[in-house]
A = this chain, B = another copy of it.
């Protein structure tokens, strides 16, 4: 079983490679080869019983996809993407990676399929950005694709291509729309969504954090560990029950900022929670107002995808996975 991770230097890609190295692969056929690909050279995880291949390749370069497909990996996990803010700021770059890079990869697999029958499992990370306001409070699985950003447009097109290529039999595809990942480890970033992680991560590390929106703002979350779990399940599950509908909104926890802070208070005390400073920012509040709050993910749950049920769990996972402490 040969697994290729494209976008292996990113946060989720690194955690997925670590999970494989730690023996958390859920299938009966364990990986016997691992290829890690990113535009910057990815770091190989510790503990693998074999030497992984590590490749530094820019998916937007001509011929890059063909090079990757030569490895004939059984499972391709395609995480590489220009993130939302950058795709909106740089139209060409967003389309070059998120649309053309994805399509080049799918096309290279199709040509290999036509040449020798190659038909890998293709796991593609999509985004809640395929959905745009106005939303119902609880967004059903049947909600239509209504992106309001270039990033969301690119991800929606990726989903459509993945479903057509799968229906045609060129590969066996699954697209996962990930909730907002929380608590993101590492340094604060400038993403509009960054504060959702920051207001927990910074206080847990004894630092002040700024909250730019009202505490009654509601959003949809899953931990990095849950995201890795989604990917591992997507790599190994039986896809037959999905039929032609291959894009799935992943389960998550719908919670308000106040509920996040209550969980922080329960986990680390009043003094820690007091490190959050309310500093309203109308721009960020405006962006966040257009985001979804909750999804009905019955379909994904029936197919075996699982996320956290409380922010207490999400905080405990951060402490275990990032701070080396038990909950």
List A residues at the B interface (Cβ < 8 Å).
Answer: 91, 110, 132, 142-148, 150, 153, 156-157, 160-161, 163-164, 167-168, 244-245
Contacts and interface: CB of A to CB of B under 8 A. Distances in A.
Nearest to A100: B103
B148 A167 contact: yes
A138 B163 CA distance: 25
A161 B154 CA distance: 9
Contacts of A142: 143-144
- Please list the 6 inter-chain residue pairs (A to B) with the smallest Cβ-Cβ separation, ordered nearest first: A144-B144, A153-B164, A145-B145, A153-B160, A157-B157, A156-B160
A150 B132 contact: no
A158 to B, nearest CB: 10
Nearest to A167: B148
Contacts of A153: 160-161, 163-164
A297 to B, nearest CB: 15
A12 to B, nearest CB: 25
A323 to B, nearest CB: 41
25 contacts: A91-B110, A142-B143, A142-B144, A143-B144, A144-B144, A144-B145, A145-B145, A145-B156, A145-B160, A146-B245, A147-B160, A147-B163, A147-B164, A148-B167, A150-B164, A150-B168, A153-B160, A153-B161, A153-B163, A153-B164, A156-B160, A157-B157, A157-B160, A157-B161, A160-B160
Could you say how many copies of this chain the assembly holds?
2
Contacts of A156: 145, 160
Interface centre among A91, A164, A244 (most CB of B within 10 A): A164
Nearest to A88: B168
Nearest to A155: B160
Given A145-B160, A146-B245, 8 more contacts: A91-B168, A132-B244, A145-B156, A147-B160, A148-B167, A153-B161, A153-B164, A156-B160
A113 to B, nearest CB: 11
A58 to B, nearest CB: 21
A142 B144 CA distance: 6
Contacts of A148: 167, 244
